[in-house]
Structure 1
Amino acid sequence: MPAKDPSLTIQQAADQLAVTPDTLRFYEKQGLLLRSCRTASGHRRYQSNDMEWLRFILCLKSTGMSLDIIRQYRDLLLQGEHTTEQRQHILVQHQQDIRQQLTTLRTNLKRIDQKIAYYDALSRGESIDCGS
């Protein structure tokens, strides 16, 4: 007989995900969870597949995807395999957005690196042609 997937309390899940229990409650209220499992006494329980989904939500959110788009993705996921292309489109668009952000960040980091080099040269008493 296969071992039952152990469930986690909301606090245990929050600890593993490095978020607060309030964050998990908020995600549930926003309709982001795939399902809501509760004990007979009403306490939330999280299985490994819930944790995997929550990690994905946190990944999308931390890379700038809005909760509305995450909810749209979730809704498509729940509709089944015939929405695979639409889900892929959402992720490809998000991937493109992230790549653009990375390009902008690299450009900005280069500018900051140049400014730090300028100040390093100033602190060493070197003559500087320009800079502000």
Structure 2
Amino acid sequence: MYTINEVEKMYDIPSSTLRFYEKEGILPKINRNSNGRRIYKEEELEWLELVMALKDTGMALETIKEYLAMSHEGDETLEQRRSILLEHKQSVERQLAITLKHFEKINRKITLYDVLVLKKEPKDL
């Protein structure tokens, strides 16, 4: 079990964000110890990791919240949840392709500067 401060350090996420996620239903309700402090279990950390992955890859918090709500409904929402993740995966793949294209353009520009500024031969790059 982990305190909010430990989770904050482990995942480099502000405790205010963790509290916001819980308040908004983006994370499940976090249990508290006898002093009233949040105590995160492994299961909740797994959810947090999924939330971070979805958010960092562009999924809207509202969609993440809907996904979490569906997971609480049980197996009858498996197909819907799978569909949400497949759609998101396709979106991430499209974005990755665009990012890779831009990355390659940046690399070509750096190579040009290497030739012009560092006087390197293209064959040496």
Task: Settle same-fold status: TM greater than 0.5.
Answer: yes
Q: Which residue of structure 1 lines up, in the alignment, with residue 79 of structure 2?
A: 85
Structure number with the higher helix fraction is: 2
Q: Which amino acid aligns with 1:13?
A: V
Identity score, percent: 37
Match of 1:13 among 7, 15, 31: 7
- Give per-residue Cα distances to partners, 1:18-60, cap 9 Å, x unaligned: 2121111111122111222123432211111111111111111
Question: Which structure 1 residue ranges, 5 or more long, are not aligned?
Answer: 1-6, 127-132
Deviates more, 1:78-87 or 1:23-32: 23-32
RMSD after superposition: 1.6
Q: Which amino acid aligns with 2:110?
A: I
For normalisation by structure 1, the TM-score amounts to: 0.83
* Pair member with larger Rg: 1
Q: Which amino acid aligns with 1:87?
A: R
Question: Which structure 2 residue ranges, 5 or more long, are not aligned?
Answer: none
SS in 2 for 1:38: coil
Residue 97 (structure 1) aligned with residue 91 (structure 2): yes
For normalisation by structure 2, the TM-score amounts to: 0.88
CA distance in 2, matches of 1:59, 1:106: 19
Q: Which residue of structure 1 lines up, in the alignment, with residue 25 of structure 2?
A: 31
Do the aligned partners of 1:34 and 1:78 also contact (CA within 8 Å) in 2? no
